[in-house]
Amino acid sequence: MRLLTRMRLRDALSLGIIMNSKGIAELAILIRWKEHNVINEECFTILIISLLIVTGAITPLTNALYDPSKRFLAYKRRTILHHRSDEELRILACIHTTDNVQAVLNLLSASNPSKESPINLAVLHLIKLVGRASPLLIACVSRENKSQYSTQSEQIFNAFRKFEQHYSGHVIVHCYKGISPYATMHNDVCSLALEKRTTFIVIPFHKQWVIGGRVESSNTLRHLNNNVLDKAPCSVGVLIDRGNQRKPWSILGQPSMYRVAVLFFGGADDREVLAYAGRMYDDHNVLITLLRFYSSTEIVGGTARSKILDTEILSQFRLNAFRNQRVSYQEEMVMDGNGVLAVLRSMENAYDLVMVGRRHQDSQLMSDLGKWSEHGELGAIGDILAAKDFRGAASVLVVQQQTKLWGLNDPEDSTQLRRANI
């Protein structure tokens, strides 16, 4: 069968193990045989023990041989850096509660949806599975006869539909509900992202700041975020929302200036951040500041190829900064981790959104900053910005460029690298 279907050996072994599993039907047959004296007591006992051993071994063996996340591998680059400026940007926004909505809307509005590059948005309301045997992924449409008492899902979807109406023709919204256990919820996220050919996934951070400075945390959501970062078929942004501590940025009314800071240390993730910031240039209500960290020594790190790509995209950004009064470029020379912390402290209340890459090249600087890291999914810099003692009220977007691609092991290596449209 394996030779006829050209199935991989590991997949064939997994399928063979599953097909040889025994269940309640086999147990009922053994009991019936014993009752009708087809088998004696000793044979019955041996068969029951063997059934238990085989059944107990199937799950760990299958988990060791079969990796279901391989179906999420994409065949082409799905990053903002490689996205053409004249094509629609496909974004998947994951929402847990209504508290997540405002920060996501702020980010989408700053992303400058336009006629030339509209945003195709899929909104996925993630709901814990209760009282069902199998998970569900449901496409939701707007109801004409609306109930007086709307559900949480309806409140979330209505907010995004109003956003769609405000940007009529520039934003298209599709709404979905994913009902599944937290342990497998990432499958809904990755499957929908792959099906919709998504370029960027936005997921809320597992901690949320509420009024009074109190922080609510969920380890199950943290596990979900880690799984999405590990298996997503495109780029991912973890959105840390401190928005409840400040006045929200008006979207549907008369907007105020939205201040965005981009922290650049170098590497594929930081280049992805810079490409995202490039979409915001033409929005007259967005001010962008790029802070590039560098050192006279090798403390910042990075391979020769990575530095060439960094220099190219920074040169494009600086050229645009000269042409656009709403864009500024700053260089910060640092000698150690304390220098980075000093710069971050100085910008605590200067911005509404801070954007930074998750991963950076191995260096002495990142090694020093990562010693006390509590949230590995945010990287060394993102962890500092998410710390309780960081007093800034800005939201933070920690970006990871696509890691799952057929034939690509190193994010720096790609035959499809193109100039970012920034």
Q: Which of 230, 185, 261 lies closest to 400, judged by CA?
A: 230
| Residue 59 to residue 38: CA distance in whole angstroms | 31
Reported as a pLDDT band with limits 50, 70 and 90, residue 79 is very high
Lowest mean pLDDT among 70-79, 252-261, 270-279: 252-261
**Under a CB-based contact definition with an 8 Å cutoff, are residues 358 and 398 in contact?**
yes
Q: Specify the DSSP class assigned to residue 91.
A: E
**Range with the largest mean pLDDT of 1-15, 77-91, 360-374:** 77-91
In terms of phi and psi (left: phi > 0; alpha: psi -120 to 50; beta: otherwise), the region of 336 is beta
- Report the C-alpha gap between 270 and 306 in whole angstroms: 11
Is 420 contained in some domain? Answer: no
Residues 186 and 291 in one domain: yes
Q: How far apart are CA 406 and CA 420, in angstroms?
A: 22
Task: Mark which of 16, 33, 66 sits at the end of a domain.
Answer: 66
Average of per-residue pLDDT across 191-195 = 93
Q: Which of 286, 292, 274 is nearest to 352 (CA)?
A: 286
Same domain, residue pair 101 and 226: yes
Q: Is the pLDDT of residue 419 over 50?
A: no
pLDDT for 246: 47
Q: Are 220 and 328 in a shared domain?
A: yes
Give 146's pLDDT tier (boundaries 50, 70, 90): low
Q: How many helices (H) and strands (E) does the chain have?
A: 13, 13
313/372 same-domain check = yes
**Furthest-apart CA atoms within the chain: distance in Å:** 91
Identify which of 34-38, 77-81, 208-212 has the greatest average pLDDT: 77-81
Q: What is the pLDDT, as a whole number, of residue 420?
A: 47
Q: Is 384 exposed, middle or buried (0-12, 13-18, 19+ CB in 10 A)?
A: buried
Choice between 243 and 346, residue whose per-residue pLDDT is larger: 346
CATH number at residue 117: 3.40.50.12370
Does the residue 412 lie in any domain?
Answer: no
The answer to whether the CB of 269 falls within 8 A of the CB of 358 is yes
What's residue 4's pLDDT?
64
> How does the average pLDDT of the chain come out, rounded?
84
* Among 70, 66, 69, 68, CA closest to 58: 66
| 183 domain-assigned | yes
Does residue 156 or residue 251 have the better pLDDT?
A: 156
- Asked whether residue 255 falls in the same domain as residue 286, the answer is yes
Question: What is the per-residue pLDDT across 341-390, written as a single tens digit (0 to 9) for each?
Answer: 899 988 888 899 999 999 987 777 787 787 778 888 999 999 999 988 78
Q: Are residues 108 and 44 in the same domain?
A: no
Burial class (CB in 10 A: 0-12, 13-18, 19+), 147: exposed
Nearest of 175, 245, 237, 249 to residue 213 by alpha carbon: 245
What's the rounded Cα separation, in Å, for the pair 332 and 343?
8
CA distance 238 to 110: 16
C-alpha 317/C-alpha 304 separation (Å) is 20
H/E stretch holding 235: strand 235-240
397 within 8 A of 385, measured Cβ to Cβ: no
Provide the residue range defining the domain that includes 336: 75-400
Residues 55, 81 within the same domain: no
Asked if residue 87 and residue 59 are part of one domain, the reply reads: no
pLDDT class of 296 with cuts at 50, 70, 90? low
Task: Give the pLDDT band (50/70/90) at residue 247.
Answer: very low
How many Å apart are CA 299 and CA 399, to the nearest integer?
Answer: 22
Q: What is the pLDDT of residue 411?
A: 52
pLDDT of 73: 73
pLDDT band at 212 (very low <50, low <70, confident <90, very high): low
Q: How many domains does the chain have?
A: 2
Q: Which of 10, 36, 66 is the endpoint of a domain?
A: 66
Examine the domain organization and report whether 140 and 92 are in the same domain. Answer: yes
Residues 152, 14: one domain?
no
pLDDT in tens, 313-338: 999 888 877 788 889 999 888 888 88
Q: Which of 228-232, 247-251, 304-308, 335-339 has the highest mean pLDDT?
A: 228-232
Q: Is residue 413 part of a domain?
A: no
In a domain, 227, yes or no: yes
List, as one string, the DSSP characters of 102-132: HHHHHHHHHT---SSS-EEEEEEEEEE--S-
Q: Are residues 36 and 102 in the same domain?
A: no
Q: Which two tokens stand for residue 127?
A: 């709901």
- Per-residue pLDDT, 263: 95
